[in-house]
A = this chain, B = another copy of it.
């Protein structure tokens, strides 16, 4: 139980940013939810830029671990694809989209170090998806046209976009499911 204050701050900050965006989150918000004063946050993270940079880095590394676990599981490619999509759906149940999807929208106002973390996140995801698609093609389950790379990019775009669209629905998670699942079913089932 090494649940220190720094982790608590990042947890709260992540909730706020995923829900409201980079420009609309403040030390005051964190202060209230963590239960310490604004000034105390600066002890753990000297500036807002540093805080967000650490936040995105942690998020990216966590996502990489989660994806690695999915990949090394015994699940079939189509099950892996569904597990991956579910990562996005789950956040929507609390009105949260992917941290990096939100920050991609805010890209123009981000400090350069954070911009680089975002780019790396999407690169990692694209590589992971490409690998999964390649496996499905090798197993003769799927047929990726015109290429696995192209299919991976298209899938990423659809998932990111579906989250955005789901935000403006009353039940975001349901809207996401209705949009994404039939498409995944049609393209990446193993029936």
A24 CB to nearest chain B CB (Å): 4
Query: Across the interface, do A109 and B165 meet the contact criterion of CB distance under 8 Å?
Result: no
A-B contact pairs, 19 of them (CB 8 A): A20-B23, A20-B106, A21-B21, A21-B105, A24-B109, A95-B108, A97-B105, A101-B164, A102-B105, A104-B167, A105-B167, A107-B168, A146-B186, A150-B183, A153-B165, A153-B178, A157-B180, A160-B165, A161-B164
**Residues A164 and B160 in contact in the complex (CB < 8 Å), given A20-B109, A21-B109, A105-B105:** yes
* Closest chain B residue, CB of each to CB of A126: B165
Query: Across the interface, do A118 and B168 meet the contact criterion of CB distance under 8 Å?
Result: yes
* Closest chain B residue, CB of each to CB of A156: B165
Query: Across the interface, do A108 and B19 meet the contact criterion of CB distance under 8 Å?
Result: yes
Query: Across the interface, do B21 and A145 meet the contact criterion of CB distance under 8 Å?
Result: no
What CA separation (Å) do A109 and B183 show in the bound complex? 31
**Residues A157 and B154 in contact in the complex (CB < 8 Å), given A104-B167, A107-B167, A168-B107:** no
B-chain residues with CB within 8 Å of residue A119 when the two chains form the complex:
168
B-chain residues with CB within 8 Å of residue A130 when the two chains form the complex:
none
What CA separation (Å) do A161 and B164 show in the bound complex? 8
Give residues 82-118 of A contacting B (CB, 8 Å): 95, 97, 101-102, 104-109, 115, 118
Query: Across the interface, do B104 and A186 meet the contact criterion of CB distance under 8 Å?
Result: no
* Closest chain B residue, CB of each to CB of A183: B154
A40 CB to nearest chain B CB (Å): 24
Query: Across the interface, do A162 and B165 meet the contact criterion of CB distance under 8 Å?
Result: no
B-chain residues with CB within 8 Å of residue A183 when the two chains form the complex:
150, 154
